[in-house]
Amino acid sequence: MTPIQSTKEAYQESLIDPRWKSLRQKIIRRDRYQCQCCGSTSQLHVHHRQYHRHKHSGEWLKPWEYSPQFLVTLCDTCHRAGHQHYSIPIKDI
């Protein structure tokens, strides 16, 4: 298993964590259950506007450790399009 595979697997596992599920639901509710790009109400995701990494340890924040200001509700189509066309900024904290 490569480091990228293990990182992806760890990230996928973190998405089933109750802390992420709770924060995800709060963000979707805040955004009135609709994509903030196109207004769709189906297949909603919560997108991280930027990724944060601890500058000393190099470890990434867990999905639920982000401030709500860095999270936005997007539908599946807009979320995929965003990842294809834009790179997400990385900030060392």
For the stretch 31-79, pLDDT in tens is 999 999 999 999 999 999 998 988 889 888 899 999 999 999 999 999 9
Closest CA to 39 of 77, 93, 88: 77
What residue type is 27 in one-letter code?
I
* Cα distance between residue 61 and residue 64, in whole Å: 8
For tokens 């802390």, what's the residue? 19
N-to-C CA span, the chain = 28
Q: Are strands 44-48 and 51-53 parallel, antiparallel or unpaired?
A: unpaired
Q: Are strands 71-75 and 44-48 parallel, antiparallel or unpaired?
A: antiparallel
Q: Please state, as a whole number, how many other Cβ atoms lie within 10 Å of the Cβ of residue 29.
A: 10
What is the reported pLDDT for 59? 87
* Cα distance between residue 84 and residue 73, in whole Å: 17
pTM assigned to the model: 0.83
